[in-house]
Structure 1
Amino acid sequence: MKRLTAYVSGNVQHSGYRARVTDIARMLGFKGTVENLDDGRVKIIAEGDEDKLRWFEEAICIKNSLINVSSIEKEYSSQRGDVNRFYKLVEKGETDSRLDTAADHLKSLIVAVNRMNDNLSSKIDQMNDNLSSKIDQMNNNLSSKMDVMIDLQKDALSGQEILIEEVRQSREEIKGRLDQRFDKLESEVAEMRGALKSKGII
């Protein structure tokens, strides 16, 4: 049985780091303490099986959206047996568990928002692809109809005025449909932007 004393530097205070260390140490059956130091570091004392302590060294080097360990100074010594469990040392007036709980909730919220942003980005890309495909299809259809009309004009000079009127009506109908579709698409995009703004995403 050995005693590990570690001084951890980085973004480790007011981030839920001590609570994570406490959970890991208790899971491994260690005895000891974890506390914030005035210089911004966290001091960890852990006593237990030496092989588990070596694994513990790696486990406490946490890097995520809230915690970022930059370095760990450590030294081993003989076990003293002056503590009977592993616990967090808390200064007077510190929120302790409420802060740790809030940090955990914040981390979960950040993960959820990131997932939502990924899903939203994928849906917007899909909508853009569908819109481009529909516009291309409409352009192809319009071009095809125009070609047919030109051929009919060449073949039927006697009915030129009738064909010109049909072309004009077709264009007006197509334009009307295009205007309706674009108006609908603009309305949907405006609604989506409004929903995103109301949720604070954009």
Structure 2
Amino acid sequence: MKRLIITAIGEVQRVGYRDRVTKIARKNNITGIVRNCPGYDVEIIAEGNEVDLDRFISQIKIHEDPIYVESIKIDKGTYEGKWEYFEIQRGKPDEELGERLDAALTYLVRIDSNSRRSVEIGEQMLVKQDQMLDKQDQMLDKQDQMLDKQDQMLDKQDQMLDKQDQMLDKQDQMLDKQDQMLANQNYQISLQKITNQEIQEMRSDIKDSLNTKYQFIEQQLHEIQTVLKNAGMMS
């Protein structure tokens, strides 16, 4: 078992630090006393085993408004085992009463400050919420505008599809006209072929007829020449 003489330096008097140290000591099986020193510091005489003392020291370094332990000075003492529990060694009644009142006032000021801070934070949160709602309204307006634009785009696409359908109908009509023109051209070509064939046949018939007539005429001329020769009229 060990004894440590600890001096806590900082904002440790008239802020309820001794009460906090007493509760920490009880939880860590530490016996001894805590008391105010002349001036501003607090002295702690703590007895216990080494593990409990180390844990106790780490926990009394409090940095929670209004308590602020700036530093701790530790001296080793001789273990005596004279205390059965940990207690506050108080000063004169009027001093203790004054410290109690000061601690209470400090906590009231702290509560008031925290309340004001909470109100300020609440007001800031309300402002932020209003800003968020404004942003959400703006986003909704933008979404409405986007939806309107999409509707307009869909209308334009429908118009384009209608135009494409009309163009396809026109193309179908043009193809039908082209089919009719091709059919007419094929018919005319067929007629030309028939006409050409008939002309060729007529030419052949005329040629044959002329050849027959020429042969007949030549034969007649030949016979006339023969008669004239026989009559001595031609040499």
Give distance in 2, aligned partners of 1:56 and 1:81. Answer: 17
Give the AA of the match of 2:6: A
Q: Is the 8 A contact 2:30 2:52 kept in 1?
A: no
**For residues 99 and 20 of structure 1, do their structure 2 counterparts lie closer, same or farther at Cα, with a shift above 3 Å needed?**
farther
Matches of 1:124 and 1:57, distance apart in 2: 44
TM-score, normalisation: structure 1: 0.58
Determine if contact 2:3/2:76 at 8 Å carries over to the other structure.
yes
Map 1:87-102 onto structure 2 (within 5 A): 87-92=87-92, 93=94, 94-95=96-97
Q: Which residue of 1 aligns with 2:5?
A: 5
Matching residue of 2:66: 66
Identity %: 28
| SS at structure 2 position matched to 1:91 | coil
CA deviation profile, 1:55-92 (whole Å, cap 9, x unmatched): 11111100012111111000223311232321112221
Moved over 3 A (4+): 96-117, 131-137
Q: Deviations over 1:118-142 (max 9, x none)?
A: 33312211113434665895xx99x
Cα shift readout 1:97-150 (whole Å, capped 9, x = no counterpart): 56556655655555555444333312211113434665895xx99xx9xxxxxx
| TM-score in terms of structure 2 length | 0.51
Match of 2:125 in 1: 122
Aligned residues between the structures: 141
Task: Give unpaired runs (5+ residues) of structure 2.
Answer: 149-235
Higher relative contact order (CA 8 A, sep 6+): 1
1:46 maps to amino acid: A
Counterparts of 1:85 and 1:100, CA distance in 2: 24
Contact 1:2 1:79 in 2 (8 A): yes
Match of 1:187 in 2: none
The aligned amino acid for 2:33 is: T
SS of residue in 1 equivalent to 2:63: coil
Aligned to 2:49: 49
Compare CA radii of gyration and give the structure with the larger one: 2
Instruction: Give ranges in structure 1 of 5+ residues lacking alignment.
Output: 145-202
Cα pair distance change 1:26/1:99, threshold 3 Å: farther
Q: How does 1:1-202 map to 2 (within 5 A)?
A: 1-92=1-92, 93=94, 94-95=96-97, 107=110, 110-111=113-114, 113-131=116-134, 134=137, 137=141
